[in-house]
Amino acid sequence: MSIAGVILAGGQARRMGGGDKCLLPLGGQSLLGRVIDRLAPQVDEMALNANGDPARFADFHLPVIADSIPDFAGPLAGVLAGMDWAAERGYARIVTVAADTPFFPARLVAGLGLACEAQGAPLSMAVTPDETRGTIRHPTFGQWDVALRDDLRAALNDGLRKVILWTRPHGCAEMLFDGFAYEPFFNVNTPQDLAMAQEMLTRIK
């Protein structure tokens, strides 16, 4: 089945001092450039969810889709924007990734699809093992059934913002990504995180 990828970059990056943290350099390439390179082989088409002037992303040659829900409603608003864009292009499903997470698995999309198929669910999200909690969810890394977009729109308009609260009633499979020598969903929120990501580059293929 064909699938579209949507890169979520609609946040306000407060802990990084504002602006587009996905444009920050990491090893001679922007964070966003690394995310695009990692996602492109896994999907048929990509779009970038970002708010504000889309011209600042012109060098990446991707369609830029803004939230239709106002006031920075969180990642679910980006998911909805991606669903609406994908529906117009004939896709039945999308996979989302975060624009500040440059080391996600090279088989993310395949794994999320297998989880949906195996568990008979319209949605899936990535999880990683954790010694104390069992697993940690990574809800911005998920597969989403585009047919649920009107339900999501209604939920957002009613004020719902938490990903888990929307996905749970619909049935959301979990795909465990383990066996990595590093944290594959490490995301860059602070200048310290960016320095750590720079160090991680020396260990990650």
Write the single-letter amino acid at 181: A
CA distance 31 to 189: 12
Q: How far is CA 30 from CA 23, 27, 55, 61, 181, in A?
A: 5, 8, 16, 14, 23
Under DSSP, is residue 195 helix (H, G, I), strand (E, B) or coil?
A: helix
pLDDT means per 10 residues, the chain with 205 residues, are 91 57 94 97 97 95 95 92 98 97 97 97 97 93 98 97 95 96 93 94 79
> How crowded is residue 183: how many other Cβ atoms within 10 Å of its Cβ?
13
Question: Mind listing the domains of the chain with CATH numbers?
Answer: 4-200 (3.90.550.10)
Residue 180 neighbours by CB under 8 Å, 6+ apart: 105, 128
Rounded-to-10 torsion of CA 9, 104, 140, 164: -160
For position 16, what pLDDT does the model report? 44
Q: Residue written as tokens 């999880």?
A: 127
pLDDT given at position 171: 96
Nearest 5°: the CA angle 194, 191, 201 is 10
CA distance 145 to 27: 35
pLDDT of residue 18: 60
Pairing, β 25-26 against β 29-30:
antiparallel
Tens of pLDDT, residue by residue over 169-191, are: 999 999 999 999 999 999 999 99
Which residue, 52, 59, 47, is CA-closest to 23?
Answer: 59
Question: What pLDDT is recorded for position 15?
Answer: 46
The pLDDT of residue 17 is 47
Sign of the Cα torsion 158, 126, 43, 55 reads positive
**Reduced to 3 states, what is the DSSP secondary structure of residue 29?**
strand
CA dihedral 79, 159, 169, 121 (to 10 degrees): -10
